[in-house]
Amino acid sequence: MEKVIKIESISQINEFMGSEKPVHPLISVIDFSKVEMGNYNEPFRILTGFYSIFLKEETGCEFKYGRGHYDFEEGSLMFIAPNQSLTFEASTEEQKTAKGWGLFFHTDLIRGTFLANKMKEYTFFSYDSTEALQLSEKEKETISSVVEKIKIEYNQNIDIYSKDVIISNIELLLSYSKRFYGRQFITRSQQNQELLSKFNQFIDDYYKDNKAQTLGIPSVKYCAEQLNFSPNYLTDLLKKETGKSTQELIHLYLIDLAKTRLLEPSDSISEIAYGLGFEYPQYFSKMFKKNTGYTPAQYRHLN
């Protein structure tokens, strides 16, 4: 059975990684080249109660996160939200040769602050490991310099300004990460176009196979799973390509399909709604009018 290690506090993650006791109780930066984790010969999974950001600078430590395995490329950045699990599958020797750093900060550090309200904007905390941020050398230097400022700040004598400075730098790091993810989406434009084609084909096949009648309207989560992405990553990627979220694209497809079916007078509006996967016809009518300005009956009459 896979060993599960639950780590709730910053002091516990420092102890787990063989690092010295943290200076600050709610935040810590750990240099992987200076620590040595315990002797775990079998895969183990850790479940943390805080935010974690990893920068891997050398290959050799393989993780399993989300649905798949991921062998970090040099200069890749990975984000993990509280209560998400990460499985380590490296041998002890590989763990010892790992280089990079980890930034860990507890939710209590940002509780009640402006950053706590903004965390939902940083959707990459729920991406899968295969969707890690690949940094250029310059981007890696930028990110690492911000982390170093955070480390310097919490190692100084704590005063009334320390928390604000630390939180501002965390926000700066996350903003840079958001920008660099934008660059990554752009530089992978061809792959993104291929994904958009796969997404459209998937929706087409879903309705051609009449799956909606038994499974209902495909959810964002279901689409993402079938395409081997996390829901947030799929939405962010599609939004970069089309300007619309996964949910919006699904709705646009439904509207387009509904318009075609409404031209068939033999089908009632209720039959069309059920065929599209709506449990209640009134929900179909409400969505149709919201997107077209007409009720299904009005649209059918116009045509």
CA dist 42 → 4, 46, 92, 235, 269 (Å): 11, 13, 9, 35, 58
Query: Smallest Cα–Cα separation from 193: which of 135, 240, 126, 245?
Result: 240
Output the 3-class SS for the chain.
CCEEEEECCHHHHHHHCCCCCCCECCEEEEEHHHCCCCCCCCCEEEEECEEEEEEECCCCCEEEECCEEEECCCCEEEEECCCCEEEECCCHHHHHHCCEEEEEEEHHHHCCCHHHHHHHHCHHHHCCHHHCEECCHHHHHHHHHHHHHHHHHHHCCCCCCHHHHHHHHHHHHHHHHHHHHHHHHHHCHHHHHHHHHHHHHHHHHHHHCCCHHHHCCCCHHHHHHHCCCCHHHHHHHHHHHHCCCHHHHHHHHHHHHHHHHHCCCCCCHHHHHHHHCCCCHHHHHHHHHHHHCCCHHHHHHHC
Q: Which amino acid is at 124?
A: F
Q: What is the pLDDT of residue 208?
A: 92
Q: Name the strands in the sheet holding 100-106, side by side, starting at the edge strand that comes first in the sequence.
A: 27-31, 100-106, 50-56, 76-80, 133-134
Question: In angstroms, rounded to a whole number, what is the distance separating the alpha carbons of residues 252 and 288?
Answer: 10
Q: Dihedral of CA 37/40/43/49: which sign?
A: negative
Contact 158, 215 (CB under 8 A): no
> What's the burial of 127, exposed, middle or buried (CB within 10 Å: 0-12/13-18/19+)?
buried
Strands 27-31 and 44-48: unpaired
Question: In angstroms, rounded to a whole number, what is the distance separating the alpha carbons of residues 18 and 32?
Answer: 10
What are the residue boundaries of the structural domains of the chain, listed by start? 3-133, 190-302
Q: What is the pLDDT of residue 264?
A: 84
CA dist 205 → 251, 256, 273 (Å): 16, 15, 18
Q: What is the full per-residue pLDDT of the chain (303 aa) written as tens digits?
A: 567 788 889 999 998 888 888 899 999 999 988 876 555 566 667 788 899 998 987 544 444 444 344 434 557 898 988 887 676 655 445 444 567 899 999 999 999 999 999 998 898 888 876 678 888 889 999 999 999 999 999 998 778 899 999 999 999 999 999 999 988 877 766 666 788 888 999 999 999 999 998 999 999 999 999 998 889 889 988 888 888 899 999 999 999 999 989 988 888 999 999 999 999 999 999 999 998 999 999 988 886
Q: Could you tell me the two tokens for 236? A: 């962010």
Residue showing tokens 């955070």? 150
So what CATH class is 3-133?
Answer: mainly beta
So what CATH class is 190-302?
Answer: mainly alpha
